[in-house]
Amino acid sequence: MDTTPLRTDAVTLHGVSKHYGQVHAVRGLDLEIPRGRTVALLGPNGAGKSTTVGMLLGLLAPDAGTVAVGGLPPRTAVARGLIAAMLQDCGPMPGVTVAELVTLGRRLYPRPLAVGEALELAGLTAVARRRVDRLSGGQVQRLKFALVAVGNPDTMVLDEPTRALDVQGRREFWTAMRGYAATGRTIVFATHYLDEVEENADRVVVMARGTVVADGTATQIRALAGRATVRFRLSDPPARPPRGWLGAGSVDIRGDLVTLGTADPDATVRALAAGPLAWRDLSVVPPSLDESFLQLTAPAAAAAAAAPALEAAR
């Protein structure tokens, strides 16, 4: 058995490009993911996410650059069970029990977990003897997760893992996933649910037009939108506040409700507290991940934001 220690990075892509005819799906992509991180991969359709995942799994070969998983070529890493994927468009075979299917899946890997451990990680111990075709939607997704987890991969790739699940199903799935991440594994997941990113990712990689336009924590990515919202109520709001009032970039007054857009909410609140206005019901809302995502992936914004966004977020 090869006992060569794995490199620190679970995933590395250096100068990776991939094109299909005239379509450049990935352009000079550089990305390093250390082991033990939970990373969300975001981007609009056509951003290059699926192509990147395909190259990580050895399903696609890059036209230029290098891809490594645990310091090994992707196909070698897959054969050794170092990386596995939970894809969205697949379904478990009917007519067998949960435990039977996971037992079958276990036989496909070189260094698998015990079936009971995989079921516990997925939160499926209580339904181990239930037939697969009698599971709820959330349980089916957790079964897909168990079929990957039983292989004991160091890196797990999830493609839209909670698509079409209800709120309870999504909550159950991510509870199981957080338990798996706590064991020190690396998780890379793509999703369109930005609340899942906020709650579960310790790093967010935003892609657009085949390259990375931002890379950092959810808080850092939110900050790239550049403007927070400060709201409060005034008994006698000014009809025409002066330009730059309270350090705000934009002012909206509707009745007694004042809404300010500001790049420095702390300074705006300090100015409000130090002034003569009689205010109440103060709230400060940071830039949303949704707003940042839209700005970063818009055609004009992405080109302008790419280089400074990367440096600022890191």
Q: Tens of pLDDT along 237-286?
A: 888 888 889 989 889 999 999 999 998 899 999 999 999 999 999 999 88
What is the per-residue pLDDT for 124?
Answer: 92
Task: Give 277-284 contacts, CB < 8 A, sequence gap 24+.
Answer: 277/234, 278/234, 278/235, 278/236, 279/232, 279/233, 279/234, 280/232, 280/233, 281/231, 281/232, 281/233, 282/230, 282/231, 282/232, 283/230, 283/231, 283/232, 284/228, 284/229, 284/230, 284/231
What is the per-residue pLDDT for 222?
Answer: 82
Distance of CA 25 to the CA centre of its chain: 20
Pick the CATH number of 9-221 from 3.30.1950.10, 3.40.50.2300, 3.40.50.300, 3.40.50.850: 3.40.50.300
> Residue 59: pLDDT above 60?
yes
- The pTM assigned to this predicted structure is 0.76
What is the per-residue pLDDT for 117?
Answer: 93
Tokens of 134: 């009698």
Contact 13, 26 (CB under 8 A): no
Contact 107, 150 (CB under 8 A): no
What is the per-residue pLDDT for 314?
Answer: 43
pLDDT, average across residues 70-90: 89
Contact 70, 10 (CB under 8 A): yes
List, for residues 288-308, the tens digit of each pLDDT value: 788 788 888 876 444 444 444
Distance of CA 17 to the CA centre of its chain: 22
Neighbours of 32 (CB within 10 A): 13
Going by C-alpha positions, the residue among 271, 263, 253 that lies closest to residue 229 is 263
What is the per-residue pLDDT for 4?
Answer: 47
**For residue 32, what pLDDT band results from cuts at 50, 70 and 90?**
very high
What is the per-residue pLDDT for 7?
Answer: 52
What is the per-residue pLDDT for 304?
Answer: 42
**For residue 34, what pLDDT band results from cuts at 50, 70 and 90?**
very high
Going by C-alpha positions, the residue among 254, 262, 313 that lies closest to residue 285 is 262
What is the Cα–Cα distance from 237 to 88, expressed in whole angstroms? 52
What is the per-residue pLDDT for 297?
Answer: 83
What is the per-residue pLDDT for 122?
Answer: 87
What is the per-residue pLDDT for 254?
Answer: 93
Phi first, then psi, for residue 227 (nearest 5°) are -145, 125
Phi first, then psi, for residue 211 (nearest 5°) are -140, 170
Residues in contact with 93: Cβ distance below 8 Å, sequence separation at least 6, in sequence order: 101, 132
pLDDT, average across residues 84-107: 87
pLDDT, average across residues 193-197: 86
List, for residues 124-155, the tens digit of each pLDDT value: 999 999 999 999 888 888 898 899 999 999 99
> Residue 178: pLDDT above 70?
yes
What is the per-residue pLDDT for 308?
Answer: 44
**For residue 78, what pLDDT band results from cuts at 50, 70 and 90?**
very high
Average predicted confidence (pLDDT) for the chain: 87
What is the per-residue pLDDT for 8?
Answer: 66
**SS3 state at 249:** coil
What is the per-residue pLDDT for 227?
Answer: 84
What is the per-residue pLDDT for 268?
Answer: 94
Contact 145, 115 (CB under 8 A): no
**SS3 state at 152:** coil
What is the per-residue pLDDT for 28?
Answer: 95
Going by C-alpha positions, the residue among 126, 289, 84 that lies closest to residue 206 is 289
| Beta strands across the sheet bearing 64-69 | 23-34, 9-20, 64-69
The residue that leads in pLDDT, 180 or 268, is 268
What is the Cα–Cα distance from 244 to 31, expressed in whole angstroms? 40
> Which segments of the chain does DSSP mark as H helices, in order?
49-56, 74-79, 98-106, 115-121, 137-149, 167-181, 194-200, 218-223, 265-274, 289-297, 299-313
